A and B are shown apart, each in its own frame.
Chain A
């Protein structure tokens, strides 16, 4: 669906007319990210991160395909082939660092995108499907990122593979055979490395497919906005192009500055020195941690240290997966009819407590597995689930939301009458 006042694609050039008749690809682009897509006029820079995430996906696919031209997925030579890329291949160092830091950039952008969704309740009707697909994308990203980190076949690669596949070993009865099946052996070796490479190459294209569904689902109700008030009339929107192509372009420039600062000045800041030691199945690094973007969930995994009906190991795994799976239920856990956190004073406070809690879990996931970190992890984990399962569902019954503006135009200009497009031909109000 698009709003009735959306501009129609009308090619004048005969070549474009021919194209539009036979394969209306330009029309698709025009209606998706061109002047044919009316977007709320009040989107803030928090709405940049979807485009930035798309950029990161393309960046990862391009650099990844290039790296695959030089990498050898064989446990005998994988580590050496990474050094070959770093030292011998023309610009290999730049492309590998671009890929490694691109993964971090992708996750950073996605976390901001997700927390934008939390604050503005972007998951609420009619946008539940966009949110559900987004969580699927995030899960696919986690799997892809993990398998990519195994490929250099350094110490962190090897022990990461061992620990993460060990999670499946916690499942009762089938756990052990499942772990052996996943690895194709009793410990990570050539079989595991080869299948991880194959899947690491394939999954980004699955992600791209789900991204297309995500954008398709987005274009049905159209973008949300910082007021959470739905679009009512033409004066509430501006065409995506040139208004948001320009705004996203500016955001992309800022993003690239930060990304390039990492890429060229501190390319290993987010990595682990241990991964420059070839994999050794007989010696575990002293302080083994996953990549930073998994830290909150790693902290939740490690928070369970006691058996309670089920073994502690299983609790940790269940909690870690539940921490993400709970997001699937968010559209139905949060019952408040008001979307935007801007008009929900109580929700807003708890949102920032959640941000602080997640930040704490981030820190704890990278900290050593010793006291006091374990106890703090337990408290932070308990609060995490408390927020989603208790606080969020109850909030709507206690909270008195602030008055909402009548329309986006009123929120921006003070009154609908001040809009240049008032009494627009296609008013839906």
Chain B
């Protein structure tokens, strides 16, 4: 490297020891680094859900044919969603438990919409590791508490789809939904 004693290659050093070249170097590298970092944004962002995937984020369901005791499986964001018309016995069973005693304390009323307490809408995704629990179709194992049973690792959900036994940490998730009429719900 050049030394300051060599006249041909001398560099101007200010009194505080800072060279002009130091400033230019820091400025140039900073601009390059900023540009490089900004380039990462599209490369990362492109892996996030695309607009056509996001456009599939609502599901409309007609539940007029759903009799008490019956369930239907629908698809919401490419995942199963269970809609169950609870029988009075199932509602009583759910209300008979003190939510305070549960792992994830919620009452049936917390998990349904006022005026439609018999319609239970939950994601069919076990909160343990994401398997689809049994119990929505006729003849399937509903578990020890008459709700849903996950065959992967043995989580039992009750009639309000609350976790009662097994490894799952929380109740089956209730997605955002609303009634657009007495017999139509929109999820998402």
Contacts and interface: CB of A to CB of B under 8 A. Distances in A.
Contacts of B6: 420
B42 A90 contact: yes
A95 B51 contact: no
Contacts of B2: 420
Contacts of B53: 88
Interface in A83-126: 84, 87-92, 94-95
Contacts of A84: 50, 52
What is the predominant secondary structure among interface residues of chain B facing chain A? helix
Contacts of B32: 249, 253
B46 A89 contact: yes
**Interface residue range, chain A:** 10 to 19
B9 A92 contact: no
A91 B42 CA distance: 6
A66 B43 CA distance: 7
A420 B28 CA distance: 28
A89 B8 contact: no
A69 interface: yes
A253 B32 CA distance: 9
Contacts of A62: 43
Nearest to B7: A420
A249 B29 CA distance: 10
Contacts of A89: 46, 50-51
Interface in B9-48: 9, 28, 32, 35, 41-43, 45-48
A70 B28 CA distance: 35
A88 B11 CA distance: 54
A91 B9 CA distance: 48
Contacts of B51: 87-90
Contact of A69 (B8, B9, B42, B47): B47
A92 B53 CA distance: 14
Interface residues on B, range: 10 to 19
A108 to B, nearest CB: 21
Contact of A91 (B8, B28, B35, B46): B46
Given A62-B43, A66-B43, A249-B32, A420 B8 contact: yes
Contacts of A95: 42-43, 46
Nearest to B2: A420
Contacts of A88: 50-53
A139 B45 CA distance: 34
B46 A70 contact: yes
B43 A90 contact: no
A69 B42 CA distance: 14
Contacts of B28: 249
Contacts of B46: 66, 69-70, 89-92, 95
27 contacts: A62-B43, A66-B43, A66-B46, A69-B46, A69-B47, A70-B50, A84-B50, A84-B52, A87-B51, A88-B51, A88-B52, A89-B46, A90-B42, A90-B46, A90-B48, A90-B50, A91-B42, A91-B43, A92-B46, A95-B42, A95-B43, A95-B46, A249-B28, A249-B32, A418-B8, A420-B2, A420-B9
The 5 closest A-B pairs by CB, nearest first: A91-B42, A88-B50, A88-B51, A88-B52, A90-B45
Given A90-B42, A91-B46, 13 more contacts: A70-B46, A70-B50, A84-B50, A87-B51, A89-B50, A90-B45, A90-B48, A90-B50, A91-B42, A92-B46, A95-B42, A249-B32, A418-B8
Interface of B: 2, 6, 8-9, 28, 32, 35, 41-43, 45-48, 50-53
Interface of A: 62, 66, 69-70, 84, 87-92, 94-95, 249, 253, 256, 418, 420
